[in-house]
Amino acid sequence: MGALSIGSLSEADGKQSIALGYKAKAPGDFSTAVGQGSQANGEHAVAIGYGAITEKNQAGVSIGYKSHSMRVGGKGWNPITDQVWDDSELQIETLGLREKLKAINEEISQKQALEQKAKEKLAQFPNDPDLQEKEDKALNDVAAAKAKKNKLFATWETPTGDVAVGNSDTGLTRQITGVTAGSEDTDAVNVAQLKALNRKVDAVSTEIKNKVEDNKIHYLSVGPEHEKNHPAEGNYNNDGARTYGAIAIGIDSVSEDADAISIGRKSYTNGIESIGIGLLANATGDYATVVGHRAQAFGKNASAYGVFSRAYGANGLAIGTAALAAGVKPLTKAEFDALPDEQKAWYNTDKGKQTEFYQYRRRDKDGEVKDIITKGLAVGNYASSIGIGGVAVGDHAKSSDIDNVNGSNFGVAIGAYSQNKVAQGVALGTLSVADRRGNKLGYLPTKNGSIEYFEDAMEAVGKGKEFTELGNEYAQVQEQMNAAKAAYYGNPTNADLKMKYEQAEQKFSEWETKYAIMTAPWVSRKGAVSIGNDKKGQTRQIIGVAAGSEDTDAVNVAQLKALAMLPMNMYFGGKGENNTYTPGKENWSMPLNEFRMDFGDGLKATQVTDKNGKKYTLVTLDKESLKGDPAFKGDKGESGQAGKDGTNGKSA
């Protein structure tokens, strides 16, 4: 409607649009396209020039050969925040607009409140011309207040399309010439104004430099003055800090990640909030910390303090000269060179001549590359904890066996040159060695040797029946658990079977604990605690030991002495009649350490039990052995006389 099209194949399809030129098109309402192949696609759009195009952005303007207007609602760059304008509180604050915006918003709210009152009043008296005039004024006041807000932001954003004098996508640009100096915030700036600003900046820079020289910090320097004669090295231009918040101080110092700190020549940090201080210090991993000449920490939360100290793997800690905390045994250079390039990135690097390569990352079962969880601690000069969860404290202390790292995890070695060689073993004291593995059966006095079966030990302490009952119940519960497990694994989607399996598993765990507790006095389930080295005859006393009270407590000498003084009671007159033994009365007793038994000829000792279940050793004549013994016969009579009859004809 009201459109104008002039030119072969020109099209003016929008309301009151204009298309002038061969194949010129003006599909947008109120749009204008002038020039061969020009297109004004948006409402109120203007495209002037051969091939000039405005997209469907409202009121966009494209002027010149092949110019292209394509933005809508453009927002400008804020050099203070180094971000595109986004109406955020930060942007408003940096431009000093907070108070202005607050006042305008308050004005808008007040005007809107007055408008609402005028509207409500007019609704009561719709034919009152004065009220109508007041309502119109209130509406205009609201619009004027909102216009103030739009004007405040107009400098930084526009609701309409852009004005294009070229095409940034194709690299087609143009100078805009003949521009006078702008005076308002929304005016274009010319080069003369930019030059003036540059001169002002130079003047300010000179002024700042002078003030800095006059007020510079003292007692802080990096290299002496004569080093200016040396070739420039890394970080010379203060570019060693590669990320926002990072700090790099020193020649060739590099800080790669956010809030990381690298101080010292050739120091390097790569990890969030990592810290590397010292010549060739290297902290690689989030929150890794290194302090010391050539110290290294690779892995999240890894820390190394001291010259040549090293920590490889997550949560490893090394403190002391050449202290080492690592998760696995190192590779030689030949072994490292044979690895694929991907895996080489999982090992530490050293700017020196490297001969050992420690792994701190690996691919997990899900295929994701993660840090090895070391959790090792090495404190002391040349102390080392290689493996998982080891603790080595002392000069040259070792928490694990380098030839059997997996078999000596979670070991403890405390003392100079102490070493643990078994899983969860403990070596305490200088030169102590813990090399006895867990699950070692103990000595049983009644057998005068190591325990072969728990039943023997239980019988020795009077718990044979109790242990048999526990074993039977344990086996039954285990059988039930295995049956429930098989049923659940056969139908894993069955919630009832899952619940029964979990209950059976819990019950089995409880009985397993009972079994472990009952057998614990007779078997070690962890590596031994060593306070010496029996292979070299180095032993120690353990002193200050209180008397033990539980079966698994240590016994002190006082208890042993008390046992030696245990009274051994001697009884006389005991009899066995009708399969019942009745002890005699106590006659005397003697301590165990002085107890002696010496049976003469013709005596025998028998173990008997009284009606209360107490056991005794019954000593009686051995009548069988005495038969025919001439020492127990009288002389043979030659002419004995008949005795007189006693009372009632019985012999006297």
Beta bridge partners of 268: 254, 282
pLDDT at 652: 44
Mean pLDDT for 114-140 is: 86
User: Which one is predicted more confidently, 651 or 385?
Assistant: 385
Eight-state DSSP code of residue 643: P
Cα–chain-centroid distance for residue 557? Answer: 46
Mean pLDDT for 364-378 is: 94
Query: What pTM was estimated for this model as a whole?
Result: 0.60
Give the orientation angle of helix 98-124 with respect to helix 129-154, to 10 degrees.
160
Percent of the chain exceeding pLDDT 90 equals: 54
Going by pLDDT thresholds of 50, 70 and 90, the confidence category of residue 277 is very high
Of 87-101, 449-463, 504-518, 536-550, the one with minimum mean pLDDT is: 87-101
Work out whether strand 580-582 and strand 440-441 pair parallel, antiparallel, or are unpaired. unpaired
Does the pLDDT at position 278 exceed 90? Answer: yes
pLDDT at 328: 95
Does the pLDDT at position 217 exceed 70? Answer: no
CA distance 429 to 394: 9
pLDDT at 179: 86
**Which residues neighbour 507 within 8 Å (Cβ) at sequence distance 6 or greater?**
477, 480, 481
pLDDT at 468: 94
Of 44-48, 112-116, 285-289, 586-590, the one with minimum mean pLDDT is: 586-590
Going by pLDDT thresholds of 50, 70 and 90, the confidence category of residue 85 is low
One-letter amino acid at 632 equals F
Provide, for the chain, the percentages of residues in helix, strand and coil under a 3-state DSSP scheme, each rounded to the nearest 5. 30, 25, 50
Question: Are 584 and 572 within 8 A, CB to CB?
Answer: yes
